[in-house]
Structure 1
Amino acid sequence: MSVAVPTSTSSADRPSPPAAPRATRPWPFHLFVALMALALGGYVVSRLWRDPYRHAIADNVGDQAFFEWVLSYGVHLLHHGGDPFFTDLMNVPDGVNLAANTSITVYAILFAPLTMLAGPQVTFLAVLTLNLAGSAYAWFLFFNRFVTAHRGAAALAGFFCGFAPGFVAHANGHLNWTSGWIAPLVLWRLLKMRDTSRWLRNGLILGVTLAVGFSIAAEGLFFTALAGGVFVIAWALSPVNRSEAREALGRFAAGLGVTAVVAGALLAYPLYMHFAGPQTFKGTGFNQRHYSEDLLSFFAFADRSLAAGAGLGNELAANRTEETSFFGLPLLVLLTACLVMLWRSADDRRRSVLRALMIVGGLFFLISLGPRLRVAGAESDIPLLYALLQHVPLFDSALPARYALVLVGVFGVILAMATERMLGSGAPRPLFAVGLVVALLPIFPLPLVHRERSPEPRFIADGTWERYVTEGGVISALPFAANVAADGQRWQAYTMARGGPEFRIPDGYFLGPDAEGAEGKGRIGALPRATDWLFLRAALYGYLADLDNADRATARADFQRWGVEALFLPDVITGPEGPLFRSAVETTATDLLGPPERVDDVLVWRIRPGVDPVDRP
């Protein structure tokens, strides 16, 4: 099913013949597009590349630390074996269900050699850069294959999709959501399923593609599959396509059956772990009403855009990473004009494609608004479509605002079609060219903002920590690892990346259940206990608690539960907005545990389970 125009099954992946002869050697142009995509991806991440080991993404230090941990876990799997979808290395003693988190398993294994050689900091930036570049290039290939024979139009639309404001926003820490190449790849294989003469092979390939996509970006794969299914159904129900759809239905369904078998076999264990494994949970750890699109956000500009750099920014998103729409008014006006122009000049078959696109775009637009209409930051009492979906399985695990990312692909198709029509004939179209500049220039991306984070202590880098913990034992930095104090998780990750001895940690930044011993709703991080909250409160707010022997008894019980053998405090500790209150943490630890010993560049407190901390008169 070609998006541009229906074709015979023998040429199901080819667009309509171009008006002018195509170049016989397209690869130089393809290479040029790939290099330009890589250059633009490097530009977006450039400030982080200046010092990968000290620079962190300013708007999402915690998520960067989590993904660095996951990349290091790939090295652990290769060196020590283990379960790719469950770990007891953090959140001791309960562990973490990685299948229910964004564990990017394929990346972790594939890039393990680079992680061992250069560290997860470099691997994180490499994957982030390649994700952005690969997304633009994959969309270019998809558009050139299925939408337009005009390579310039395909490239323009591909770059729009790869570097759309929503995906640049997710470059603030999300290796899963920047994997935008998954969507065009899955859609490519879905449209190839119309070649019913090869239904078995196509079903096998699509099944493997879905398994790979699930292991990298399960939420994005769900959106892609849902959008693809809605498009196919809407296209097939159009009167002009019904006979063709009816003829292809049998083998198309058979191919999808093969896909289900292959994907089901490959994903049987991770799906079991995701939905029924230990430490799983229902829903998500985030407030879905908070992470819904504001109606005005579609007309606004994202933080990392030229328009925002010129002073046209806003505060309509839940945070900088979730600016998932933010297309800007000029682009929406241009796309509306393009859609009207395409509709008026289209025949019935082309209109069936445009109608299906509009249905997909309208549906995902409504879902992205969440359960209640929000305008200019104020939530109304008007219920929307998502109010009916928010408790439905799969929908309950996704954030509504992210559904707006599907509009990027819909807009890309319209942009490619319109650009081919306006520029493909060779006649000058200055008004359209001006419209493109006015619409696309304001959303051109700016480089990600970075901030300094604390360097790895020599105590960890030199392996001195091994003298203070038994093999596979538990040791923790202070404060205990959390999304707002991720240093402790980073030190463990960097140790894993070297492939040698490892230690385990309490707490950590992950998604888990909000209740012990039974499946609960999702929450961020471990269930808080009195002792870890004591240190975190000191680090975040500089708060000094007035400790007594009851607090020390509670700490003994907590240390016993975790099996902690030692605690250490580096010279610098950092959080999401810079340095934390280190002196308050040191004072709290000393009051609780007594004087520390200075080792390399950290303070160390040894813990004797069941004995420390000692009550004081």
Structure 2
Amino acid sequence: MGGAASPVNIDVAGQVELSVVVPAYNEEQRLAPTLEAIRTHLGDSCSWELIVVDDGSADETVRVAREAAARDPRINVVVSETNRGKGHALRLGVLASYGRRVLLTDADLATPIEELDQLAKAMTEGETAAAIGSRAHPDANIEVHQSRLRELLGRMGNRLIRAVAVPGIRDTQCGFKLFDGEKARAAFADARLDGWGIDVEILQFFRRKGWEIAEVPVRWAHQEGSKVGAADYGKVLWELARLKARAVRRVDLVLGALFLLSSVLLYKNLWADLRHGYLADSLQDQNQWEWFFAVTADNVAHLRDPLFTTVQNFPDGVNLMGNTPMLGLSVPFTPVTLAFGPTVTWALVLTLGIAATAYSWYWLFARRVTENRWAAGLGGALAAFAPPMISHGNAHPNFCVLFMIPLIIDRALRVCEGANVRRDGLVLGLFTTYQIFLGEEVLLLASLGMALFALSYALARRDAARAALRPLAKGLGYALGICLVLIAYPLYGQFAGAQSYHSVLHGDSAGNSPLALVEFASRSLLGDDATADKLALNRTEQNAFYGWPLVALALALVVRLWREPLVKALAFTGAAAAILSLGQKIRIPYTDVVFPGPWKLLAHRPLFESVIEGRVAMICAPALGALVALGAGRLARSGVRANKAVGFAAIALALIPIIPTSFPTNGRPDVPHFISSGMWKKYVKPGKSLVPVPLPDPGSAEALHWQSSTGLGFSVPGGYFNGPWGPDRVGIYGASPRWTSNLFGDIRSGKPVPDIGTDWQNQARQDLDYWRAGVVVLPPQPRAPELYEAVSRLLGRPGEKVDDVWLWQM
């Protein structure tokens, strides 16, 4: 009998214990011995059936199978009229089966049928849903190898499949697999692939369902005439890619298009005039960001260090890692910047980034919060287009382009689930590394929000917290390990390299007013500039302004759904972030009452000392988005029409007032023709700088636009960046002040020209020597006559009018 297969010998009256499915295509020569070997091994050890599926063979395979079936009624033959592929054949066979367990085996029996005993034993002892044969297991016995080239290509293909489709399984393509029958029939009924990729599709189905899979080492021998070649691994990847594309739901495409359309409408005025359009509320930040994109592209194109430059703040330079050039986007966008200019990159990053952020939040909410994808889309839109995000959309892409944050949150949750801690921990580390190159302060705020959520959820679900503690600690170890390796050099440069600094001074009055949480922002449908301007640092820092209707809706949802741990955690996270955002001193509106805020506990801690505390309220946006998504999803399931009508009306009334309006633009000043024509090249020698009057600073940075729009051919002193000041290297905005730069800035702001004598002239010479000035340039501007008088007195000679500027050669 060839040895009884005792592990499958469970006698249950009237039930087929084992179904063996053999797909066959042009197997006339090998099929009869294979069927006889299976019959001999199984014998009478259990009730079994053997299903041969002919996949449209062109030879006598069907005849051989039917002759075997005529000799043994336990053999059944299923015939496909055309050749559709192994996947199609397996699906026909499994769906025709009745066995409590289902074995899949190839017609060549490269894995001997006797190995069934090992698979059955593994399923029984491990209480798993499947046991798959593995040729890649360290204990596997390869009796006959393929050719070295074929084996190498096959190994490479299998590794690629594992990496992108089924991590953790060594051999997805071995044709010898044993499944729980009901689970196998459910998986194959759901399967869509007809080719070799069905093995991976079935394993992915089992993984999604949380069904355990055991990988068992088997004996295997290459069979001449095998129909599986190394190229078939490529076919598997192609089939999986097509399956992934087909799996995209129509709602996914519609929501993605709506998010993109919404973002385009926000920036339509900028797109209408990329040559002269300037976001009206961006202060000097558009000039700064375009410069960041331009200098990164220039560094990449010339293979220079992307973390430092002397093009601005010459000769000291700028520590780019200590600033916000968003290298994670500015580097990939280098071809766009070089081909079309930094303004196009600026517009693309903002437009595509906000749309991608909305889609990312939608994906997270659909995965973790609600099954209703339209409700998840509504929550994603709120999280990405909330008033604080729109405020930063004027000027700070690092605070509104947040598509990585939902991915990081989801990966952290996967780590907590413990399915594959090492893989998920490493991916979390890679995601975190990438986010560091998009925005470190955002990552810090997101980490604070995740910590608040984790703490509150742990209190609500202590059992879940205990179960997650060990895998979380282990996964964070993996994440921290790979992250530190990748960012060690950049962080060293940021905190200890040239032009590094220790913290940025913002004062103790950068928190939100309590009124800011319930008022409307400038760019909200029901907002107005006068009200919002009184409650914010500026229009790029309207960090709250959710509006009282949305706050009221959130409170109602929390009360209605309070029993759910998720709701408790979201409520605590949002409330805690709102309170922290009030800053070190909380002022009660309409009174003189001031009392310490909880932010005081964090204000002077490392990293937190550089945070503008009002920005902590941005954490409320995804918390509110998740609440709205959950509430809308529950309403959609309600069977009471009146409840639906009232509920969705309340959501609409809460969200309509904060719908953002398009960003207004102004015409930006033209670059002086002296600069745009390249005439400056005659006056600025290598190693020298062009000194604009006044010098660029956070209040006026047009000189950065001169540079970014003309290829960064010259360096300027001063600028708009974060850099060190004083012996303690405290971070400030702009260059360390000097006598001459201060003088020019005072005159520009309206102060009279002072009585300039020898001391002023000596100081000016020292400053110009320090800046290695090649030429001093005074462009047309308000207060130009006063500035001309000051420069002429400082240098002891009149300027020379060249083209449209005044020059003083050094």
Q: Give the TM interval when normalised to the shorter protein.
A: 0.7 to 0.9
What is the deviation of 1:592? 3.0
Q: Are residue 75 (structure 1) and residue 297 (structure 2) matched? A: yes
- Assess if the C-alpha contact under 8 Å between 1:316 and 1:376 holds in 2: no
SS of alignment partner, residue 615 of structure 2? helix
Q: Choose which of 415, 435, 453 in structure 1 pairs with 2:650.
A: 435
C-alpha distance in structure 2 between counterparts of 1:106 and 1:171, whole Å? 18
The correspondence for 2:572, drawn from 333, 342, 359, is: 359
Cross-structure match for 2:346 = 124
C-alpha distance in 1, partners of 2:349/2:590? 34
Structure of higher RCO (CA pairs closer than 8 Å, 6+ residues apart):
1
**Which residue is equivalent to 2:470?**
250
1:330 aligns with 2:539: no
1:276 to 496, 503, 506: 496
Alignment match, 2:511 = 292
1:403-442 aligned at under 5 Å gives the runs 403-425=616-638, 427-428=640-641, 429-442=644-657
Give the deviation of 1:89 after TM superposition.
2.1
Instruction: Note if 1:506 corresponds to 2:717.
Output: yes
How much has 1:106 moved relative to structure 2?
Answer: 1.6
- Matching residue within 691, 709, 731 for 1:476: 691
Conserved 8 A contact 1:106-1:216: yes
Tell me by how many angstroms 1:427 deviates. 4.2
Matched letter for residue 785 of structure 2: S
Distance, in Å, in 1 between the alignment partners of 2:522 and 2:611 is 23
- 5 Å-filtered alignment, 1:57-72, equals 57-72=279-294
Give the drift of 1:586: 2.5
Picking from 711, 714, 720, the partner of 1:496 is 711
CA displacement at 1:11 relative to structure 2 = 4.8
1: CA distance, partners of 2:471 / 2:651:
42
- Residue 269 of structure 1 and its aligned partner are, at CA, apart by 1.7
Letter in 2 for 1:382: F
Cα distance in 1 for residues equivalent to 2:468 and 2:553: 36
Q: Which runs of 4+ in 1 moved over 6 A?
A: none
The 2-side partners of 1:93 and 1:281 are apart by 17
TM-aligned CA deviation for residue 398 of structure 1: 0.5
Counterpart of 2:271 in structure 1 is 49
Indicate the SS of the match to 1:532: helix
8 Å contact 1:147–1:416 — kept in the other structure? yes
Provide the identity percentage.
32
How far off is 1:310 after superposition? Answer: 10
Inter-CA distance 197–433: structure 2 relative to 1 (3 Å threshold): closer
Matched, 1:318 2:537: yes
- Corresponding position of 1:586: 788
Contact kept in structure 2, 1:235 and 1:353, CA below 8 Å: yes
Following superposition, the deviation at residue 378 of structure 1 comes to: 6.8
Most deviating of 122-131 and 401-410: 122-131
* 1:36 Cα deviation from its structure 2 partner: 1.1
* Separation of aligned partners in 1, 2:647 and 2:487: 47
CA drift of 1:12 comes to: 9.4
**Corresponding residue number in structure 1 for 2:731:** 522
Please give the alpha-carbon distance, in whole angstroms, between the structure 2 residues aligned to 1:390 and 1:397: 8
Aligned length: 568
Structure 2 vs 1, CA of residues 374 and 45 (structure 1 numbering), >3 Å: closer, same or farther?
farther
Helix, strand or coil: the match of 1:568? strand
Establish whether residue 601 from structure 1 lines up as the match of residue 804 from structure 2: yes
The offset of 1:254, in angstroms, is: 1.7
Give the stretch that moved more between structures: 114-123 or 398-407: 114-123
State yes or no: 1:201 paired with 2:423: yes
Of stretches 165-174 and 263-272 in structure 1, the one that deviates more from structure 2 is 263-272
Q: TM-score, normalising length from structure 2?
A: 0.67
Which SS does the other structure have where 1:523 is aligned?
A: strand
Structure 2 match to 1:153: 375
> After the TM superposition, which residues 142-221 of structure 1 pair with which residues of structure 2 at under 5 Å, given as runs?
142-221=364-443
State the distance in 2 between where 1:462 and 1:140 align: 48
Quickly say closer, same or farther: Cα 1:132–1:377, change in 2 above 3 A.
farther
CA apart distance, 1:403: 0.3
Residue 595 of structure 2: aligned partner: 382
**1:43-90 CA distances to partner (integer Å, 9 max, x unpaired)?**
111222222232222222311111111101111211223332222222
TM-superposed deviation, 1:472: 4.3
Task: Provide the residue aligned with 1:465 in structure 2.
Answer: 680
Distance across 2 between alignment mates of 1:261 and 1:544: 58
Deviations 1:475-497 (A, max 9, x none): 12221111111111221222336
**CA root-mean-square deviation:** 2.3
Post-superposition CA distance 1:506-560 (Å, at most 9, x none): 1101112221xx3322211112111112222222216323322321111111111
Give me the whole-angstrom Cα distance separating, in 1, the residues matched to 2:352 and 2:209. 29
Kindly indicate whether the alpha-carbon contact (under 8 Å) linking 1:66 and 1:489 is maintained by their aligned counterparts in 2.
Answer: yes
**Do 2:687 and 2:772's aligned partners in 1 also have CA atoms closer than 8 Å?**
no
SS at match of 1:110: coil
Q: Structure 1 counterpart of 2:568, which letter?
A: R
- Give the secondary-structure state (helix, strand or coil) at the position aligned to 2:492: helix
Residues in 2 aligned to 1:214 and 1:432: alpha-carbon distance in whole angstroms: 40
Q: How far did residue 255 of structure 1 move? A: 1.6
Letter in 2 for 1:264: L
- In structure 1, give the amino acid aligned to 2:323: N
TM-score normalised over the length of structure 1: 0.87
Quote how far apart the aligned CAs of 1:314 are.
5.5
Pairing 1:104–2:313 present: no
CA distance in structure 2 between the partners assigned to 1:606 and 1:446 by the alignment: 48
CA gap of 1:376–1:82, structure 2 versus 1, over 3 A, is farther
**1:454–1:542 CA distance, 2 compared to 1 (3 A):** farther
What is the identity, as a one-letter code, of the residue corresponding to 2:775? A
